[in-house]
Amino acid sequence: MSILVIAEHDHAVLKAATLNTVTAAAKIGGPIDVLVAGSGCAAAAQAAAALAGVARVKVADAAHYAEQTAENLAALVVANVSGYTHILAPATTFGKNLLPRVAALLDMAQISEICGVESPDTFVRPIYAGNALATVKSADAVKVITVRTTGFDAVGQGGSAAVEAIPAGPDLGLTQLVGRELTKSARPELGAAKVIVSGGRGLASGENYHALLEPLADKLNAALGASRAAVDAGFVPNDYQVGQTGKVVAPQLYLAIGISGAIQHLAGMKDSKVIVAINKDADAPIFQVADYGLVGDLFQLVPELTAAL
């Protein structure tokens, strides 16, 4: 058995999700190699080499990996798959975009968003927006897997893996990046934050969302999230969305404000350590998962809470 983990990185640093993915690889067992494909990505490769349990880091450094397009990366992974029994990537927009392409080129199934490892060929994954957990067994020669980051802890440091350059694959020239508009924020990343302040339709408008939740998030050094209803209503962009169709998070503290608790939202946050709900409807389903519920008018309670911290 031998595992290849596809690193998600920005050429300089590894994305946190890569660390959870290496932990999932360690649970499967066998030597773990990490593939870092990028442009000027030596620093990211060094960071991968320092992860506990990593045997080798393979680096493909070329200009056509700068934008991390699925087409070019999939071709590279497929060219380097020989000898591996498992290929893993984080179930982030990066991994979800790339890995099914790899799987199809290899004529292998993909096992999406595993949250548990039963054995080297058997995995647990959520289906129906987390309303059920399926245990699936793969008969394929190469198991192609995306990893739900909240299902596994981040791997520690302390490794000293060999870093080995590998030849770049072809530039297929199918895709051109026009631009990226990343939400600029001094706040922690939603997927990695210890505290998340999340708002729903109860906030009634985008202005209220920002006016009420930002000061609270500042106090708690929290990331900001939202329910799908708040995103659908246009309060905040989609990358704020917590839920089955958005991000799945598991912070130490999750504050759900004006969120009723639709099943698809609960699927994205119910693994949080402590959940606080503030909602005017005492019967809202969010209170069935909240450790601490506060029933009342959020327009009064949120500023009060911000002031009390």
Partner 1 sequence: MKVLVAVKRVIDYNVKVRVKADQSGVELANVKMAMNPFDEIAVEEAVRLKEAGIATEVVAISCGATHCQEQLRTALALGADRAILVETDAAQTENLQSLAVAKLLKAVCDKEQPQLVILGKQAIDDDANQTGQMLAALLGWPQATFASKVVVADGKTTVTREIDGGLETLSIRLPAVVTTDLRLNEPRYATLPNIMKAKKKPMDVLKSAELGVDIAPRLATLKVVEPAKRQAGIKVADVAELVAKLKNEAKVI
Which residues from 99-138 bind partner 1, rule CB under 8 A? 99-105, 107-113, 122, 126-138
232 binds partner 1 (CB under 8 A): yes
152 binds partner 1 (CB under 8 A): no
Cα angle 264, 269, 272; round to 5: 160
CB of 128 to partner 1, least distance (A): 4
Indicate the residue among 165 and 274 with the shorter CB distance to partner 1.
274
257 binds partner 1 (CB under 8 A): no
- Per residue in 96-134, is it b (16+ CB within 10 Å) or e — as a string? bebbbbbbeebebbbbbbbbbbeebbebbbbeebbeeee
Contact between residue 18 and residue 5 where contact means Cβ atoms under 8 Å apart: yes
CB of 119 to partner 1, least distance (A): 11
274 binds partner 1 (CB under 8 A): yes
Indicate the residue among 160 and 238 with the shorter CB distance to partner 1.
238
CA separation for the pair 28, 152 (Å, rounded):
12
233 binds partner 1 (CB under 8 A): no
186 binds partner 1 (CB under 8 A): no
CA separation for the pair 128, 134 (Å, rounded):
10
Indicate the residue among 31 and 299 with the shorter CB distance to partner 1.
299
Could you tell me which residues come within 8 angstroms of residue 171 by beta carbon, excluding any fewer than 6 positions away?
A: 62, 64, 72
CA separation for the pair 195, 213 (Å, rounded):
13
| 215, 218, 224, 230: CA torsion to nearest 10 | 0
Among 83, 167, 186, 309, indicate the residue that binds partner 1 (CB under 8 A): 309
CB of 78 to partner 1, least distance (A): 9
Total of residues contacting partner 1 (CB under 8 A): 88
304 binds partner 1 (CB under 8 A): yes
| Longest CA pairwise span in the chain (Å) | 61
294 binds partner 1 (CB under 8 A): yes
CA separation for the pair 16, 242 (Å, rounded):
17
CB of 164 to partner 1, least distance (A): 27
279 binds partner 1 (CB under 8 A): no
